[in-house]
Amino acid sequence: MGSPDDIVVVAAVRTPITRAKKGAFKDTTPDVLLATVLRTVLERTGVMGEDLGEICVGNVLQHGAGAAGSRMAQMMAGIPHTVPLSTVNRQCSSGLQAVANVASGIRSGFYDIGIAAGVECMSLASMSGSVPQVNWDAVNACREAKDCTIPMGITSENVAAKYGVSRQEQDAFAAASHTKAHTAQQAGKFREEIVPVTTYVKDKDGALARVTVDADEGIRPGTNAEALAKLKPAFKAGGSTTAGNSSQVSDGAAAVLLASRRRAAQLGLKVLGVFRGFAVAGVPPAVMGVGPAFAIPAVLRQTGVSKDDVDVYEINEAFASQALYCIRELGLDPLKVNPNGGAIALGHPLGCTGARQVATLLHELWRTGGHIGVVSMCIGTGMGAAAVFEKEPVAAAHSRL
């Protein structure tokens, strides 16, 4: 079944996603979360750490020496120093880019098995960000270069204004995200992908309390469009983007174990899904949220899949404005998009999100009997990324790819 050279996913897990600066991971560092998911994909599959050819970690808000924290997490997970590690930062697609990087390494023959992961602890980051060290005279003389500095919330306002996405539509979309996520959570749909994390939380007096976190924190049952309509615009007076119809600032980690089909068969591993293709498209920085509307067609062309062949779309909900625009522009069936909610309800730990979406997608395909799925997201500074995954077919003849 399939080609021995196929790139297959044999495990995909994530931590719960918690609220930045307020939630259960507010005092937990990225190395702890990352070590947890790295360790778990090995435990679930029985793969030995020393057999890995590469670990690639998506991480946006890197501290200090950048890759050092991820390398520390590798050691903490019991993976020997002989296994190389890299980090990658393509903004909100970093977790998916890590998957693509490991898949590319396997396809090129550099190694035959590796882990792609993503992690972000936004609790530890300043939300105001740091000013890049650039030649500001030169940047300001180039409009699109200057547009790369536009705050993400303003790019959402730009999309809403340019493409006619109303406040009412955005609030209804956000409410639906919470409803879908709450329904999924209550039904236990996230149980297979979530790895419980035991950690410590400081109370208001600085005392540490030991807690075990096993569920996403950001989901708000009972959220409705009427309540969201009362929120003030978050980014500009008279705007339509609010805290309620934007993604949440969050903490979390995810990991995906990939291998060639040949190697997976040698190790006796169950195939969760097949990585079929990946594409990144550039778009104007001022409306960066439209990225998926360009990246998804690109990856569908690359893999020979039609939009209607896709059973599930996991499209990151950075903002309701841009998610709605992309769904509408591509003519997607809304029932196929984020059936278990998205980042507005679950949260958006930047470097983690792409890997988290892969875990959510593949488990959903198995649960529902779906066959083909797409993961996509917009990217700050003006890009979109997308990847196609195929659930392992019962028989090769059933494959649409």
Give the number of C-alpha atoms closer than 13 A to the C-alpha of residue 180, restricted to the C-beta side: 19
Q: Is 270 helix (H, G, I), strand (E, B) or coil?
A: coil
Around Cβ 75, how many Cβ atoms within 10 Å? 15
Catalytic residue among 348, 352, 363, 371: 348
122, 382 in Cβ contact below 8 A? no
Around Cβ 304, how many Cβ atoms within 10 Å? 12
Greatest pairwise CA separation for the chain in angstroms: 62
Catalytic residue among 56, 121, 352, 378: 378
Q: In angstroms, rounded to a whole number, what is the distance separating the alpha carbons of residues 212 and 196?
A: 7
- Element containing residue 353 per DSSP (H, E): helix 353-368
Phi and psi dihedrals of 192, rounded to 5? -70, -30
Nearest of 78, 248, 282 to residue 178 by alpha carbon: 248
Q: What is the 3-state secondary structure (H, E, C) of 73-89?
A: HHHHCCCCCCCCEEEEC
Answer left, alpha or beta for residue 2, where phi above 0 means left and psi between -120 and 50 means alpha.
Answer: left
At residue 117, what is the residue type? A
Catalytic residue status for 92: yes
Q: Which two tokens mark 288?
A: 């960066």
Around Cβ 188, how many Cβ atoms within 10 Å? 9
Q: In angstroms, rounded to a whole number, what is the distance separating the alpha carbons of residues 275 and 290?
A: 24
Catalytic residue status for 348: yes
177, 224 in Cβ contact below 8 A? no
Catalytic residue status for 378: yes
Cα dihedral 397, 8, 298, 293 sign: positive
Residues 6+ apart with CB under 8 A from 321: 156, 157, 159, 160, 165, 170, 240, 241, 245, 289
Q: In angstroms, rounded to a whole number, what is the distance separating the alpha carbons of residues 263 and 272?
A: 14
So which residues are the catalytic ones? Answer: 92, 348, 378
